[in-house]
Amino acid sequence: MCTTCGCEQSGNTISFQKPGEEKHSHLHNHSNNHDHDHEHNHDHDHSHSTKIDIEQDVLLQNNLLAERNRGYFEAKNITALNMVSSPGSGKTTLLEKTISALKDELNLFVIEGDQQTMNDAIRIKAAGAPVIQINTGNGCHLDSQMISKAVKELQVADNSVLIIENVGNLVCPSMFDLGESKRVVVISVTEGEDKPLKYPAMFNSSDICIINKIDLAPYVDFNIEKAKEYALQVNHHLKFFEVSAKTGEGMDAWFEWLKGEK
Amino acid sequence: MHEFSIITNIIEIVEEKLKQLNANIVHDVEMDVGEMAGIDFDALDFAWQHATKSALLKDAKLVVNKIEARAKCEGCSHEFIINDFYTPCPKCGIFKNDIFQGKELKVKAINID
């Protein structure tokens, strides 16, 4: 169970909205009617039972739709990045700076995921990229169905770069493939350097690791080399960028990589 | 933390199967869950207790087969059991593990009347 955020509990409503537009749409979770008490009695007789093989992956539906998204992106030559991190690592600032620097060279589109508010979408629009905000309500992650709907509403252009800023959460989004080309995990030096070991599933499933806020490194006890060493223990395929989205330090290497993906 | 949504998916899979089979009593739902699947087993059990309140599943038991995680060292090809993402190869000591078993998350079977 999503003990912290209660995601996908019955009745949760997911909304999609572009900044400056009144109109918004919803994706409703099917709600099961669970409003009655019962006792769990497991002492039943199994003598007449029949075993039926199912052999079905629990995340099959998400994975199938993710593959459909991936096929759509490939056919339209869209590079899709799934950006994940804990809340407050600086994903949105990183995106704002990326859009400002590259908007004349790349056709950038953004899907913003947060539980509530249009705040991030408003910032991205101001930076100059078309954006749609998904508010997941209680949900702690984006899934492939939300992305499928958001991509249609946003009308992501052919030959573009789509950046999906996932809900700030270093646990749940790791299990949900969105159909992205690459997964980008962001950590900042104001977090612990052992974060890759504490939340290994996310680092294990990512392709790129951006270490942000390096301008603050002299003031905090974060050893960048140690953090990279830990991250490589979890996933030896990771590629790193050390940046300060705020001062611009190290951002050129990230921009070059992003252009190279196109 | 996402075990509730995982359980919701499991219930959908099982209820769909029950509809096809026109069955209405489920004794147990058997699952294969890898130890590195990102699932907290206690949280899964807790979510099951609270989510299976529909008439069809209220007496059903969740049986979880834990699948041990195994990795192959990219350096020396040694295969070994791992309990976390950052265990070095016991043979050559490097951290280049490719996990090939232990990320399973599937509904294996159901026992019905």
Domain ranges of chain B: 3-112
Spatial separation of the C-alpha atoms in residues B70 and B89, rounded to whole Å: 11
Contacts B8 to A, Cβ<8 Å: 8, 32
Task: For chain B, give the mean pLDDT.
Answer: 91
The C-alpha of B15 sits at a distance from chain A's nearest C-alpha, in angstroms, of 12
Contact A87, A5 (CB under 8 A): no
**Token duo for residue B112:** 């019905």
Residues A184-224 pLDDT 10s: 999 999 999 999 999 999 999 999 999 999 999 999 999 99
The C-alpha of A203 sits at a distance from chain B's nearest C-alpha, in angstroms, of 10
Average pLDDT over residues B37-64: 88
Contacts A48 to B, Cβ<8 Å: 113
Q: Would you say residue B102 has pLDDT above 70? A: yes
**Token duo for residue A128:** 């100059």
pLDDT value, residue A41: 52
Spatial separation of the C-alpha atoms in residues A52 and A37, rounded to whole Å: 28
Backbone angles phi, psi at A137, to 5 degrees: 70, -115
Three-class secondary structure of residue A257 per DSSP: helix
Place of tokens 């087969």: B65
Name the CATH architecture for the domain at B3-112.
2-Layer Sandwich (3.30)
Spatial separation of the C-alpha atoms in residues A10 and A13, rounded to whole Å: 9
Q: Would the CB atoms of A233 and B86 count as touching at under 8 Å?
A: yes
Which of B1, B14, B100 has the highest number of chain A CBs within 10 A, making it the mutation to test binding with A?
A: B1
Which CB contacts under 8 angstroms, 24+ apart, belong to A73-78? A73/A162, A73/A179, A73/A181, A76/A156, A76/A158, A76/A159, A77/A158, A77/A159, A78/A156, A78/A158, A78/A159, A78/A160, A78/A161, A78/A162
Spatial separation of the C-alpha atoms in residues A28 and A74, rounded to whole Å: 28
Spatial separation of the C-alpha atoms in residues A68 and A107, rounded to whole Å: 22
Report the residue from A8, A52, A56 with minimal CB separation from B106.
Answer: A56
Contacts B74 to A, Cβ<8 Å: 236
Backbone angles phi, psi at A200, to 5 degrees: -65, -30
Q: What is the pTM of this model?
A: 0.85
Q: Would the CB atoms of A174 and B105 count as touching at under 8 Å?
A: no
Spatial separation of the C-alpha atoms in residues A220 and A191, rounded to whole Å: 9
Contact A109, A130 (CB under 8 A): yes
Q: Would the CB atoms of A201 and B38 count as touching at under 8 Å?
A: yes
The C-alpha of A19 sits at a distance from chain B's nearest C-alpha, in angstroms, of 29
Q: What is the DSSP string of A211-239?
A: EE-GGGGGGS---HHHHHHHHHHH-TT-E
Closest residue in B to A38 (Cα–Cα): B53
Place of tokens 């509904």: B107
pLDDT value, residue A150: 98
Instruction: Identify residue A217 by its one-letter amino acid code.
Output: A
pLDDT value, residue B4: 84
Q: How buried is B55 (Cβ within 10 angstroms: 0-12 exposed, 13-18 middle, 19+ buried)?
A: exposed
Sorted by where each starts, the structural domains of chain A and their CATH numbers stand as: 60-260 (3.40.50.300)
Q: What is the mean pLDDT of each run of 10 residues along chain A (262 residues)?
A: 44 86 73 45 62 93 96 98 97 98 97 96 97 93 96 97 97 95 98 95 97 97 97 96 98 98 90
